[in-house]
Amino acid sequence: MKETFYERIGEAVCRERLTNGLEVCVVPKPGYAKKYAFFSTRYGGMDTRFCLDGQWLNTPAGIAHYLEHKMFDTREGNALQELAKNGAEPNAFTSNAMTAYYFDSTEHFEENLRILLSFVSIPYFTDESVAKEQGIIGQEIRMIEDNPDWQIYTRMLRAMYHRHAARTSIAGTVESIAEITADTLYDCHKAFYTPANMILTVVGDVDPVHVIDLANRVLPKLSGPIIERDYGTEPETVAEKETVLEMEVSAPQFLAGFKCAPAAEGDDYMRASILGDMASDILMGESSALYQRLYEQGLINPSFGGAFEMMPGVAYLYAGGDGKDPRAVTDAILEEATRIAAEGVDEAYFQRIRKASFGANLRGLNSFENIAVTLTEGYFHGYDPLRFPEVFDSITPEDITAFLKTNVTAERMAVSRIVPKQ
């Protein structure tokens, strides 16, 4: 077991790679009553096309999320109920690039951890239970499709990307989930729910040796196959400049997405993530000159916001909110990005944003869940996320201007709009 102490943030992490390939991370928190376990696979909504046993499979959109729902079924009953009986609070989620199962508890932790590792590793599906779940998830899909926020975001991604799997809805469609069978679920579990494709992260007052020993006893001895994935090749250009949808909304909404150059895995991935976040704040955060100007002009309101997101092979900056004149807002964003790229970032403003961003990362370590998610994402993308102070040290105003010059351009922009039904 390797223990690393990060002096600048005051955290220690114990890491062990088991013989079956599973990465185990334990963050000791002496004196805390709550213990948190996070068991995740690098398998999400994007992973619909992959090679298993020498054969390329095209699986239905939404299958990773569907599998997450079904994993709680066991031959004995339901793992959620079993965990709850032991005083745990369990849950799960599926994102574009991962699926995670987790719980927190103050008692019976090792027993709860055994249950978690067992049900995630041992699938149990029947044709009857799969068919029943189609109705439940179908209702969920219909509900989110009626949500303007979901529609505007999803349509922005589809406008930006021609072929990349980022276009794929995590939940899928009513039509796509109707194609899912028990056999397909077993194939996906065999491909991705393998120790070498997973990580267990535990945060709390626990003995790392006990955690590692339990994982060794419960989990499969073999690592499983290395799976080749196909996300689709993607040009730099956007697929559509604008997409418009009529819905039952009281006011028009818009999102402008900027298709950024994706980062390579490893340290570059972490650096690109921090840099993108800072560039977004500097360009159009609430303390930016652009935000204040647009707000005073009545072109935006408190609903306006932006962010920078990354997935495997994908990176994009986006911003939007309520607004009757999205063209004026997007023109202003482009003009401000061009100005900053030409004139540079004010040094005092840059330092203020960097300090605020660093502080946000540091505060995130107060959350057990955030620590676990951060360590998981770092492992899946090949970097150590707790070395973020060194990355902040390396970012310069010139990095910000180069990012904006390259990525925030009219050629890389796609606008998604929702307008009231006439």
Residues marked active site are found at 68
Query: CA-CA distance, 400 to 340, in Å (whole number)?
Result: 9
**132 sits in which H/E element:** helix 127-145
DSSP string, 70-92: HTTEETTEEHHHHHHHTT-EEEE
Region label for 314, one of left (φ > 0), alpha (ψ between -120 and 50) or beta (otherwise): beta
Query: CA-CA distance, 185 to 103, in Å (whole number)?
Result: 24
Spell out where 193-313 has E strands: 198-204, 228-229, 242-247, 253-260, 305-311
Structural contact between residues 97 and 311, judged by C-beta atoms closer than 8 angstroms:
yes
**What's the token pair of residue 262?**
């994706």
Identify which of 258, 329, 337 has the alpha carbon closest to the alpha carbon of residue 300: 329
Query: CA-CA distance, 185 to 295, in Å (whole number)?
Result: 49
143 Cβ partners below 8 Å, 6+ apart? none
Region label for 401, one of left (φ > 0), alpha (ψ between -120 and 50) or beta (otherwise): alpha
Query: CA-CA distance, 111 to 109, in Å (whole number)?
Result: 5
Structural contact between residues 269 and 312, judged by C-beta atoms closer than 8 angstroms:
no
